[in-house]
């Protein structure tokens, strides 16, 4: 499968992405199949569909890199560790990035400033950038990945004060645009010692069964479009009934009925045909 910008844009529209949307994406480039022009083409296609009135948000997280006590967060240059498409969003001209040592967001479009300037105590509280995507009635796109990459579920964990999360303060340094290094700290949510791991696929599968999530192929990727507010309203009574709703229940993570889940050394993908993911040619 050879994917162009126009073909990607057509598939995204068929999924339900519309002009003017606020869209936050989690993605795998190789799940799509061969894309002419790679990650840049995918971001071009997303921006084509959203148009000048739409806003595109990517995770520019670096939670593993930030474990190094010598880590310096440079909002202008620190790459996103969340894949090639997320990093392409971060590198685009006009992008704005929130200030958080582990969970910054990069955004392009008219709502970008409102999102990245939002600043509460953590990355996941209601008044933080990710919580603001809920407030502004955004949507989440899982492109070739499962709900296990669905960071918005952490907003639910924080909102409902689930017992398996505890607060801590992370202290590192930040490089200002002038180049000056300054001490910087923010709040992070850690896992409690007895944390069994999360099963966000459980919420995801329940949302698919209830037709909250739109599911369709984009190239060879299974793409899932989740509206933020309906997701929140759907999850609320379930979490109130069962505070462990988002946790693994001992039998592993819930299997998704749509697409094939591929657990590769580099990440978990959700695809139409495992044989059609991008595979680099072996060196000759």
Ligand X SMILES: CC(C)(COP(=O)(O)OP(=O)(O)OC[C@H]1O[C@@H](n2cnc3c(N)ncnc32)[C@H](O)[C@@H]1OP(=O)(O)O)[C@@H](O)C(=O)NCCC(=O)NCCS
Residues that bind ligand X (CB under 6 A): 26-32, 34-35, 38, 59, 61, 82-86, 145, 149, 151, 266-269, 278, 280
Nearer to ligand X, 47 or 57 (CB): 57
Which CB atom, from 35 or from 212, has the smaller least distance to ligand X? Answer: 35
Q: Measured from the CB atom, is 151 or 213 closer to ligand X?
A: 151
74, 104 contact by CB (below 8 A)? no
Task: Give the burial class of 197: count Cβ atoms within 10 A of its Cβ; 0-12 exposed, 13-18 middle, 19 or more buried.
Answer: exposed
d(CA 118, CA 132): 7
End-to-end CA distance of the chain: 22
Residue nearest to ligand X (CB): 267
Which CB sits closer to ligand X, 89 or 235? Answer: 89
Question: Minimal distance in Å, beta carbon 183 to ligand X?
Answer: 26
Give me the least distance between CB of 146 and ligand X, in Å please: 8
Which CB atom, from 20 or from 252, has the smaller least distance to ligand X?
252
At closest approach, how far in Å is the CB of 237 from ligand X? 25
Q: How far is the CB of 39 from ligand X (least distance, A)?
A: 7
Determine the Cα–Cα distance for residues 213 and 270; give it in Å rounded to an integer: 15
CB nearer to ligand X: pick between 179 and 275: 275
**What's the rounded Cα separation, in Å, for the pair 141 and 89?**
14
CA distance linking residue 159 with residue 44, whole number of Å: 34
Report in angstroms how near the CB of residue 182 gets to ligand X at its nearest: 27
Q: How many CA atoms lie within 13 A of 142 on its CB side?
A: 28
- In 10 A of CB 276, how many CB atoms? 16
42 versus 174: smaller Cβ distance to ligand X: 42
Question: 238-252 burial, b for 16+ CB within 10 Å, e for fewer?
Answer: ebeeeeebbbbeeee
Provide, rounded to whole angstroms, the least separation between the CB of residue 240 and ligand X: 25
Nearest distance from C-beta of residue 155 to ligand X, angstroms: 13
Residue 4 buriedness (CB in 10 A; 0-12 / 13-18 / 19+): middle
Q: How much is the CA Rg of the chain, to the nearest whole Å?
A: 18
């Amino acid at each position: 499968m050879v994917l162009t910008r126009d073909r990607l844009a057509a598939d995204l529209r068929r999924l339900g992405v519309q002009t003017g949307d606020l869209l936050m994406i989690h993605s795998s480039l190789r799940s799509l199949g061969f894309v002419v022009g790679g990650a840049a083409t995918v971001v071009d296609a997303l921006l084509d569909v959203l148009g000048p009135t739409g806003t595109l948000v990517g995770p520019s997280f670096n939670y593993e890199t930030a474990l190094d006590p010598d880590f310096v967060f440079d909002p202008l240059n620190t790459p996103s560790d969340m894949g090639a498409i997320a990093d392409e969003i971060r590198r685009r001209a006009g992008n704005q990035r929130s200030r958080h040592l582990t969970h910054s967001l990069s955004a392009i479009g008219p709502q970008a400033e409102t999102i990245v300037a939002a600043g509460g105590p953590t990355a996941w509280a209601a008044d933080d950038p990710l919580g603001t995507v809920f407030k502004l009635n955004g949507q989440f796109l899982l492109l070739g990945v499962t709900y296990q990459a669905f960071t918005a579920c952490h907003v639910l964990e924080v909102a409902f004060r689930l017992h398996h999360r505890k607060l801590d303060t992370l202290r590192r340094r930040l490089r200002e645009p002038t180049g000056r290094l300054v001490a910087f700290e923010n709040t992070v949510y850690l896992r409690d010692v007895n944390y069994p791991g999360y099963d966000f696929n459980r919420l995801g599968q329940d949302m698919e069964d209830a037709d909250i999530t739109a599911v369709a192929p984009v190239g060879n990727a299974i793409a899932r479009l989740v509206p933020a507010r309906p997701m929140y309203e759907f999850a609320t009574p379930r979490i109130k009934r069962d505070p462990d709703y988002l946790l693994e229940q001992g039998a592993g993570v819930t299997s998704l009925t749509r697409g094939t889940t591929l657990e590769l050394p580099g990440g978990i993908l959700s695809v139409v045909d495992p044989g059609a993911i991008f595979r680099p040619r072996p060196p000759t």
